[in-house]
């Protein structure tokens, strides 16, 4: 009985303290608000666990009493649980304490992480707050600037309105002045036309009187080039200007100067027969001119009367000979007669007309200017407008009445000097680099950086043939049967008018900047960026000569080189402003002209008469050169 009662008390006591612990834990869980309270509770629980551990160890060290040993049973305190049950509860408490410790560590770790995150957020918040303040300050500054700009714009608008009103007023005045200028020019033109007509009548009368006197003298006696009289056939000794040789011709040649070449040739043969009968000890200058052939003799005769007419038209003989279109032999120029800034910006192109008394220039100021050579100077005669881009090349038709120019506005422009009308050849999609007449006044060829070469009918201003090429085209020359184009891929291509394909190619060392074909169409001169000029024989398609010189450097991709009218010299300008002249027969450097150009020389032109050379450069200047 006593043992049963004791066990009942032990079970009741065991249940009571467990319940008490669970109640306290639940109360703690409900009451705790911070991690510190959890630590305190954990410490208290740990103390209790240590106490129970000591108690358990003490119980285990005491001997186990048998049921019959009543004295030993009375030693245990009243209400203490049995040893096996207490050991199990201690184990459960250890497991629970471990879980609580793990949870406490996890919570501590999370608290530390949250503290770190809070610190980072505080730093970010401080940085963003500073940025916000900075942006607010910038916003206030921008608002102040906006207000200032609004005021400034209002002032500028007021000034603009005032200037616009002044511009409209000045444009009205300019229009009135232009109207007055046109009226004055019209009056002056009419007056000059009347004066010119009157002067032409006087000149014709003078010419007829001079011819009558010459014919009268010829009928009275005969004078040869030696000054010896003869009675075989009447002859006249014509004394020419200093630039042309004198010539002894029969009276029949003068009377029939407008007949065909065969009649003129027969008359010259008669004169030559008389010359052979004279002694050979004295050579006359007439023989050198007669040896040139009947056509050039007749041209020289016409040039004599043209020269007389020019002197009569001018009213006063200025002492300068205006060269004819007959070129017997060329001599390289050695001095500059005249230099002048001919355009508002750099000059790219220059070309003489067939009469050798007119030269055209073009540049990046989008105009072509026509200059007359009078007394060794350039005098502006006409300004051709209509291009919307810089001028790259210029060409005259065989009659000299039309000017064809290539332009950077993707087109070529045709001006008729007699009627002052113009046409625009459109169709290219890139800069037109060259434009040339095809030995006639109604056919032309253009090349462009759009990799095409086009042939044009100038009567209709329409393209009649289009050739696609594999590279940028820098220049083109042509005859009636074929065309030759220069390209940036270092090649010269030949195109037959009867075939759409390239018939021949010639490869150089660098890209080709220009081509020039002599009038006889037997030689082709090329200029390339390897600082060399090459002369090709078109009959054998072989390279005859290569022209190089110390100091010569090709200045740009459109530098133009040409041959003299008699094809005895090649001439080109250098990047340092020097003009180089080579002998086209030997390849030796004949002469270099310096001292006039201070910028790269882009192009040169040699008059058909052989008397003048004009060079133009990137510094707006044109220089007129001559041998005399």
Model pLDDT, residue 142: 93
Higher-scoring residue by pLDDT: 42, 490:
490
What span, in angstroms and rounded, lies between the C-alpha atoms of 304 and 20? 148
Phi, psi of 195, deg, nearest 5: -65, -40
Q: Are 626 and 337 in contact (CB under 8 A)?
A: yes
Find tokens 């002044």 and name the residue: 166
Give the pLDDT band (50/70/90) at residue 4.
low
Model pLDDT, residue 420: 78
Higher-scoring residue by pLDDT: 366, 322:
366
Lowest-confidence segment of 118-132, 315-329, 343-357, 431-445 by average pLDDT? 315-329
Q: What is the mean pLDDT of residues 9-35?
A: 71
Lowest-confidence segment of 72-76, 420-424, 475-479 by average pLDDT? 72-76
Phi, psi of 506, deg, nearest 5: -125, 125
What span, in angstroms and rounded, lies between the C-alpha atoms of 448 and 438? 17
Lowest-confidence segment of 1-5, 50-54, 215-219 by average pLDDT? 1-5
Return the closest-CA partner of residue 322 out of 561, 99, 112, 612. 612
Per the rule left: phi > 0, alpha: psi between -120 and 50, beta: everything else, 335 is: beta
Give the pLDDT band (50/70/90) at residue 220.
low
Higher-scoring residue by pLDDT: 188, 477:
477
Model pLDDT, residue 269: 39
Name the range with the highest mean pLDDT among 28-32, 192-196, 554-558. 554-558
The percent of residues above 70 in pLDDT, for the chain, comes to 75
pLDDT tops 90 at residue 261: no
> 3-class DSSP state for residue 407?
strand
Model pLDDT, residue 66: 46
Please give the domain boundaries of the chain with CATH numbers for all domains: 221-314 (no CATH), 339-626 (2.130.10.10)
Phi, psi of 110, deg, nearest 5: -65, -40
> 3-class DSSP state for residue 339?
strand
Q: What is the mean pLDDT of residues 602-617?
A: 93
Model pLDDT, residue 96: 81
Model confidence over 345-357: pLDDT tens digits?
A: 999 999 999 988 8
Output 503-506 pairs: Cβ under 8 A, ≥24 positions apart: 504/541, 506/536, 506/541
**pTM, full prediction:** 0.52
């Amino acid at each position: 009985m006593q043992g049963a009662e004791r066990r009942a008390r032990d079970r009741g006591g065991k249940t009571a303290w467990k319940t008490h612990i669970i109640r306290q834990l639940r109360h703690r869980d409900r009451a705790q608000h911070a991690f510190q309270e959890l630590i305190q509770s954990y410490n208290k629980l740990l103390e209790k666990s240590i106490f129970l551990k000591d108690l358990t160890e003490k119980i285990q060290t005491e001997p186990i009493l048998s049921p019959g040993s009543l004295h030993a049973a009375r030693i245990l305190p009243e209400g203490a649980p049995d040893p096996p049950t207490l050991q199990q509860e201690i184990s459960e408490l250890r497991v629970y304490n471990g879980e609580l410790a793990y949870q406490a560590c996890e919570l501590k770790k999370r608290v530390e992480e949250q503290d770190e995150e809070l610190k980072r957020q505080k730093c970010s918040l401080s940085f963003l707050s500073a940025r916000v303040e900075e942006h607010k300050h910038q916003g206030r500054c921008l608002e102040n600037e906006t207000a200032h700009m609004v005021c400034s714009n209002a002032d500028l608008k007021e000034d603009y309105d005032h200037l616009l009103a002044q511009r409209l007023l000045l444009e009205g005045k300019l229009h009135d002045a232009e109207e007055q200028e046109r009226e004055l020019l019209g009056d002056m033109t009419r007056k000059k036309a009347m004066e010119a007509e009157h002067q032409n009548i006087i000149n014709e009368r003078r010419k007829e009187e001079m011819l009558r006197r010459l014919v009268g003298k010829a009928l009275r006696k005969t004078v040869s080039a030696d000054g010896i009289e003869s009675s075989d056939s009447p002859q006249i000794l014509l004394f020419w200007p200093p630039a042309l040789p004198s010539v002894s011709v029969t009276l029949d040649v003068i009377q029939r100067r407008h007949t065909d070449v065969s009649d003129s040739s027969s008359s010259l043969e008669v004169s030559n027969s008389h010359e052979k009968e004279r002694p050979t000890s004295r050579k006359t200058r007439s023989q050198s001119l007669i040896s040139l052939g009947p056509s050039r003799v007749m041209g020289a005769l016409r040039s004599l009367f043209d020269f007389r007419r020019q002197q009569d038209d001018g009213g006063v003989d200025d002492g300068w000979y205006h060269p004819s279109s007959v070129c017997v032999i060329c001599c390289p120029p050695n001095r500059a007669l005249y230099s002048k800034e001919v355009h508002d910006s750099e000059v790219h192109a220059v070309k003489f007309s067939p009469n050798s008394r007119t030269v055209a220039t073009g540049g990046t100021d989008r105009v072509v200017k026509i200059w007359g050579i009078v007394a060794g100077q350039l005098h502006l005669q006409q300004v051709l407008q209509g291009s919307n881009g810089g001028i790259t090349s210029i060409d005259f038709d065989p009659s000299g009445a039309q000017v064809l120019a290539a332009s950077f506005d993707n087109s070529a422009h045709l001006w008729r000097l007699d009627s002052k009308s113009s046409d625009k050849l459109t169709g290219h999609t890139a800069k037109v680099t060259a434009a040339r007449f095809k030995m006639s006044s109604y056919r032309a060829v253009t090349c462009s950086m759009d990799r095409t070469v086009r042939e044009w009918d100038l009567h209709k201003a329409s393209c009649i043939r289009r050739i696609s090429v594999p590279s940028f085209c820098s220049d083109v020359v042509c005859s009636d049967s074929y065309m030759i184009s220069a390209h940036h891929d270092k090649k010269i291509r030949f195109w037959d008018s009867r075939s759409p394909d390239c018939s021949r190619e010639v490869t150089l060392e660098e890209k080709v900047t220009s081509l020039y074909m002599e009038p006889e169409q037997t030689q082709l001169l090329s200029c390339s960026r390897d600082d060399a000029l090459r002369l090709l024989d078109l009959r054998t398609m072989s390279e005859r000569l290569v022209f190089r010189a110390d100091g010569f450097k090709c200045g740009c991709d459109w530098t133009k080189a040409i041959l003299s009218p008699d094809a005895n010299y090649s001439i080109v300008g250098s990047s340092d402003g020097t003009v180089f002249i080579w002998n086209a027969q030997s390849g030796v450097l004949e002469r270099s002209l310096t001292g006039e150009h201070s910028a790269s020389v882009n192009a040169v032109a040699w008059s058909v008469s052989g008397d003048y050379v004009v060079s133009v450069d990137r510094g707006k200047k044109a220089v007129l050169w001559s041998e005399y």
